[in-house]
Amino acid sequence: MSYSWRMKIFIMMLVSIPLYAQLDITHSNAVSRVVKRYKRACTVLEVGGSELACTTIVLQPGAVSLEDKTVLAPKVLTLGFLNTLAQCEHLDVVFVHDLTGMVKAPLASLVGTLTYLGEHVFIVAKTKALEQVLQQSSIIKQVIKRAEERPGLFYSYRPKRYLSYSRFTQRHPSQTMYKIESTFKKKQFIKEDSYPLPWVHGINLVTFIMLNGVSPSRATIKQQFLSFKKRYPNHNDLVLGNVIVQGHMLIPIDCTDSRRRAPSERCINVAVNAFNKPWEDDPREWLNVYYRRLIKS
């Protein structure tokens, strides 16, 4: 089974917010009011009947850049994939146009997963069945009522303080506590009892691969890893799970993890070799092969 949709993640520097192209203007204004409350970069996930668009927005003067985007095109989308995404990535705002045609799951289960994807979640009730499920939820309220040709809009706020998984491919919840401190003014990350670190916006490279990332290309990623030899020669754990994708840029994290002693050049060489081959047919097996080669190197 496959789906003709795309997920986009891109960084925009803007004053106004020219998003929500598929939304009724009344709906988009409701979402914008929440987004504009952020005094820091915020991550917004837009879910439509034909695509997902995840945007990191910085509300400050600047030019709008639509070229700097990350595009993912997963062949299969399941409720399990959405649950995993919710447990390994932290999204500030999510608004859903229509997902029922792509994910085959009971509406109550689907709604529960969607409200966990982000802290502020907006859902457009395009069907009466979905509207009924939303009305029955204790954590969701209706903010715009259904009109003649305009479906109702529902909203939930659920603070998300922890991540259960450090990467998309983990089979079991991590024993390490990943705590998120998120407000409209700042967002930071705390691993176990360490000191707070600024949150790095974007999507983890492992998530990018599991969701069949197509842009930046493998060639672009390969070139950036090669550049890490000079830029991050002392990184002691430069594995794929310690890299964040921001538009077309790769940002290494955990650069000074005292528990790791993996030579930077060795990690880079294994990654560069892996990116010579595509992952589209079976991303999970592609990653398994990568990690096996990393262990043997």
Q: Let me know if residue 173 belongs to a domain.
A: no
Let me know whether 112 and 11 are in one domain. Answer: yes
Domain boundary pick from 109, 141, 157:
157
* Predicted pLDDT of residue 206: 96
pLDDT of residue 64: 31
Q: Strands 91-96, 42-47: parallel, antiparallel or unpaired by DSSP?
A: parallel
Kindly list the distances between the CA atom of residue 16 and the CA atoms of 23, 67, 139, 149, 200, in Å, as whole numbers in the listed order. Answer: 16, 18, 30, 27, 23
Task: Check residue 150 and give its pLDDT.
Answer: 84
Q: Tell me, what's the pLDDT at 17?
A: 36
pLDDT score, position 273: 95
Burial class (CB in 10 A: 0-12, 13-18, 19+), 18: exposed
pLDDT along the chain (297 residues), means of 10: 38 34 74 86 70 53 43 75 90 80 81 92 91 92 85 92 90 80 93 82 90 87 95 92 88 77 89 94 94 89
The number of beta carbons lying within 10 Å of the beta carbon of residue 88 is 23
- Is residue 144 located within the same domain as residue 251? no
Q: What is the pLDDT of residue 262?
A: 80
Distance CA 207, CA 92 (A): 17
Q: Report the pLDDT value the prediction gives residue 261, as an integer from 0 to 100.
A: 77
Task: Specify the number of domains making up the chain.
Answer: 2
| Range of the structural domain that residue 224 is part of | 216-296
Last residue of a domain, one of 157, 173, 194: 157
pLDDT for position 100 = 62
Residue 89, domain CATH: 3.40.50
Q: What is the pTM of this model?
A: 0.82
88 belongs to a structural domain:
yes
Out of 115, 140, 157, a domain closes at 157
pLDDT of residue 257: 66
pLDDT attached to residue 82: 86
